Structure 1
Amino acid sequence: MDFDYLVSNDHPRNAKDIYHFVPHLTEPKDVLGVQFAPVLAIQVTLFPNHGISICFVNHHIVGDGSTIVGFIKSWASLNKYGGNDEFMMIPFYDRSIVKEPYGLKGLLWDDMKKHKSTADHVILTPPDNIVRGTFIIRRNEIEKLKKLISSRRPSLTHVTSYTVTCGYVWACLIKSEDTDTDIIIDDNVMEYFSCTVDYRARFDPPLPSSYFGNCIVWYIVKTRHVDLVGNEGFIITAESIGETIHKRNKDKEYVLSGEWLDEDDHLFKFLSVAGSPKFDLYATDFGWGRPEKWEFVSLQTGILMTLGKSKDSNGDLEIGLSLPKTQMNAFAAIFTHGLEEIKI
């Protein structure tokens, strides 16, 4: 496999190619009515005279994105600095400081049992027509999007790099679906967007940023398909995402009572986000220099986008998508043209 081809952002790559370097979690075992399941697998692949790839596969029960990124960075620091605590963030495990007056712990446990799956160890290989694409949105383009939404919705209080980037990608993705003449989507079909929010700092008292485990909630945004394919698509998506995050962040009772747990059940068409503009995996250095490329393996086709800091410039963001090749080409054209046409 060509190392330079795999790490390039200049062209879509066959989605199946990356799976040669992905380890597999072994199947869960049932012992006396108790299920034991592996939670982590790591595979290191050597590309002679070019480099190596390091791939992590973990069960989500281990931790959320913040936890896994922290684990990767700690491992890299140990390798580079030989265990010098000055360069490490010590994980925090104490669950007793979590205050949840509404019995959220029990609700989460019931929800886990309800959604129990025997196939969590299975990583599905994508079909042959699926490609992976990486898109960079520059800092100045993000600022243009912020100014655009602020000028069109001056009363909107929550305008961030996250809301405008996700809103822009969501709108472009919906428009790229409509370029496929073989797919007819009813105008009144509801489109859903799901984002996760790190809740560590929002507890009272707040949890340390090094809290090891899962501490996220998800918010659901919805709007009609027909509203997203017109000229106002981005304005509507950015406004909807911003308003939802602002509203839910202020409503601690909504979060701590677990009302959000069932919101993603039975959703038909949705886009969710893995990663965060705060995640800087390109700063991870095992002692060999910065990585050439990072990817989220579990990029389900058309329903997940990845987001993180870009390698090349402070303030730029990197977006990952996995789509059928024809739709990826349409998305790329819409994405690029839309940014070029922004007039402030």
Structure 2
Amino acid sequence: MAQTPPPIKVHKVYKVSPSQTTTTTTTLPLTFFDIRWLRLPPVERLFFYAFPNPTISFFDSLLPNLKRSLELTLQHFFPLAGNITWPQHSPIPTITYFPGHDSVSLTVSESNDDFDHVSSDFCEVSKRRRLVPGLSVSDDKTSLLALQVTLFPNSGFVIGITTHHAGVDGNCSTVFVKAWAYACSKIMKHPSLSTLPTISLPENLTPFLDRSVIKDAKGLAQSFSDAWMNFSGPNNRSVMLWKNKNNREEVQLDNNESVKGVFELKPSHIQKLKNYVKSKTGITKVSTFSVTVAYSLSCLVKAEQPEQEQVALVFPVDCRSRLEPVVSPTYFGNCLMGRLVLEETEKVMASEGFVTVLKGISEVLNGLESGVLNDVEKWQKKIESVFLEGKKRAYSIAGSTRFGVYGVDFGYGRPKKVDVASVDKTGAFALSESRDGDGGVEIALALKKEQMEVFSSLFYGQFESF
């Protein structure tokens, strides 16, 4: 009896180094924005592309272009080839890059799964896990970036990207992916560029590496570092990643009970929700972000019916444009602050749960006007307690509609699907712009099949009541 071939076959693992970069060791200290993420799980994203071409064209053309353009792009983003370490002589963790030694892992694999199903709006979580690369992790050092390219013969390919959150945030990692795509598409159009030692990037894709722009008058970097050092310490300088109590990897990812679903709010839906909120609350300024998150969370809580008495929502705020002075949009690193909304579970599950959550989000957003870093120490401790204590059902948000992920074109067309795979483990839900570019919003999350059915029914069925 013939054996069934494995669902994925690894052809080769490349070690890709930056092209013609610095010859001296580079050390970047982590800022207080970075250190908060030191041991937290990485961010994983999958970009699905149609590629109905013969396998030979993948290995003879597409793969060499991807690999060479990656070398040229890493020349600008060379810290991504380094590692996060915490030397004994350093009071805070650092990113260290050793030229000629450090590199980025690029795994090339092939899958016999159905590409159309794996890239659809509803897919088993376990099928996509095979497409996600893993970081190299130890107590002494942890890599910042891992990549995987998986071919689905005659159908498509998937680029998997895993980043260490203490190294880069979503905005920064998206700039990197866009820069890589830019370089690859340029080489496709002008093959002679692949022979050059360097490639120029447009200003909006060039990383800003100067970390002195992040001011730390309160000594938060040292304070956050001390907290990590004393966690299971003393003098615990491990940079090993760990799992929080919301992590559901062991529970769901090894079976087919968990599915990933993508839902969309069209512009007409968003406007309808905004009008309803204004009529019920008198709030005049209602953002697309607020109604999207509030509506999605109210449906999710009703679908899951958590036992905890309180629901906690943690969402990120990009501080680049909110700091004084303003930080470059392409700043390399993290520049996020978390904000917390707490509500009684019973109120969120009620008929007006959507409005309840939205009021909480609006109140928090209005508080940003007094300064995004005001009481940052208190906010951080509140958020940490939510995830560490496990007494509240915690939800969080990944991604952003501002990233423009559906515009990432490596020269083979726009992606068919973009998936933040890491939310499958953390219980978060991911936001992105709609792939058709009409101003709508995509919401993606992973649930058990029966919960997904309930969520879907609520998400699309409740509009009649607004």
Alignment TM-score, normalising by the size of structure 2: 0.66
- For 2:337, the aligned partner's letter is V
Pick from 260, 269, 281: which aligns with 2:379? 260
**Alpha-carbon displacement from aligned partner over 1:200-255 (angstroms, at most 9, x marks no partner):** 11111110101010110000100101101111111101111111121134234525
User: In terms of Rg, which structure is larger?
Assistant: 2
Instruction: Determine the structure 2 residue equivalent to 1:242.
Output: 362
Contact 1:302–1:322, Cα closer than 8 Å, also in 2 = no
Distance, in Å, in 1 between the alignment partners of 2:167 and 2:248 is 17
Instruction: Determine the structure 1 residue equivalent to 2:222.
Output: 106
Contact 2:142–2:240, Cα closer than 8 Å, also in 1 = no
Distance, in Å, in 2 between the alignment partners of 1:301 and 1:90 is 32
Contact 1:228–1:237, Cα closer than 8 Å, also in 2 = yes
Q: Give the C-alpha shift of residue 303 in structure 1.
A: 2.5
Instruction: Determine the structure 1 residue equivalent to 2:212.
Output: 96
Distance, in Å, in 2 between the alignment partners of 1:302 and 1:215 is 21
Q: How does 1:185-196 map to 2 (within 5 A)?
A: 185=307, 189-196=309-316
Instruction: Determine the structure 2 residue equivalent to 1:70.
Output: 175
Distance, in Å, in 2 between the alignment partners of 1:260 and 1:340 is 37
Distance, in Å, in 2 between the alignment partners of 1:248 and 1:236 is 20
Pick from 114, 121, 124: which aligns with 1:2? 114
Q: How does 1:155-174 map to 2 (within 5 A)?
A: 156=283, 158-174=285-301
Pick from 290, 298, 319: which aligns with 2:422? 298
Question: Does 2:349 match 1:229?
Answer: yes
Contact 1:74–1:88, Cα closer than 8 Å, also in 2 = no
Instruction: Determine the structure 2 residue equivalent to 1:43.
Output: 148
Instruction: Determine the structure 2 residue equivalent to 1:324.
Output: 448
Contact 1:158–1:243, Cα closer than 8 Å, also in 2 = no
Q: Give the C-alpha shift of residue 263 in structure 1.
A: 1.2
- For 1:8, the aligned partner's letter is S
Distance, in Å, in 2 between the alignment partners of 1:131 and 1:96 is 43
Pick from 95, 113, 118: which aligns with 2:240? 118
Question: Does 2:416 match 1:289?
Answer: no
Q: Give the C-alpha shift of residue 54 in structure 1.
A: 0.3
Contact 2:248–2:427, Cα closer than 8 Å, also in 1 = no
Distance, in Å, in 2 between the alignment partners of 1:87 and 1:309 is 23
- For 2:128, the aligned partner's letter is I
Contact 1:138–1:316, Cα closer than 8 Å, also in 2 = yes
Instruction: Determine the structure 1 residue equivalent to 2:42.
Output: none
Contact 1:92–1:212, Cα closer than 8 Å, also in 2 = yes
- For 1:138, the aligned partner's letter is K
Structure-2 change in CA distance of 1:114 and 1:90 (3 Å): farther
Contact 1:302–1:321, Cα closer than 8 Å, also in 2 = no
Distance, in Å, in 1 between the alignment partners of 2:372 and 2:349 is 34
Q: Give the C-alpha shift of residue 340 in structure 1.
A: 3.6
Three-state SS of the structure 1 residue aligned to 2:129 is helix
Q: Give the C-alpha shift of residue 93 in structure 1.
A: 1.0
Three-state SS of the structure 2 residue aligned to 1:258 is helix
**Alpha-carbon displacement from aligned partner over 1:136-167 (angstroms, at most 9, x marks no partner):** 1111111111111111111x355211111000
Contact 1:59–1:120, Cα closer than 8 Å, also in 2 = no
Contact 2:313–2:340, Cα closer than 8 Å, also in 1 = yes
Instruction: Determine the structure 2 residue equivalent to 1:270.
Output: 394
Structure-2 change in CA distance of 1:158 and 1:262 (3 Å): farther
- For 1:146, the aligned partner's letter is K
Pick from 264, 271, 280: which aligns with 1:136? 264
Structure-2 change in CA distance of 1:94 and 1:87 (3 Å): closer
Structure-2 change in CA distance of 1:254 and 1:310 (3 Å): same
Pick from 121, 126, 134: which aligns with 1:16? 126
Distance, in Å, in 1 between the alignment partners of 2:161 and 2:369 is 31
Cα RMSD after superposing both structures: 2.2
**Unaligned 5+ runs, structure 2:** 1-112, 188-198, 232-237, 387-391
Distance, in Å, in 2 between the alignment partners of 1:253 and 1:168 is 27
- For 2:326, the aligned partner's letter is P
Structure-2 change in CA distance of 1:233 and 1:43 (3 Å): same
Distance, in Å, in 2 between the alignment partners of 1:333 and 1:105 is 45
Contact 1:45–1:52, Cα closer than 8 Å, also in 2 = yes
Three-state SS of the structure 2 residue aligned to 1:202 is coil
Contact 1:99–1:203, Cα closer than 8 Å, also in 2 = no
- For 1:118, the aligned partner's letter is M
Distance, in Å, in 2 between the alignment partners of 1:133 and 1:323 is 8
**Alpha-carbon displacement from aligned partner over 1:253-310 (angstroms, at most 9, x marks no partner):** 525x432211122323111000112121110010111011111111245730000111
Three-state SS of the structure 1 residue aligned to 2:130 is helix
Alignment TM-score, normalising by the size of structure 1: 0.88
Distance, in Å, in 2 between the alignment partners of 1:314 and 1:270 is 31
Q: Give the C-alpha shift of residue 105 in structure 1.
A: 2.5
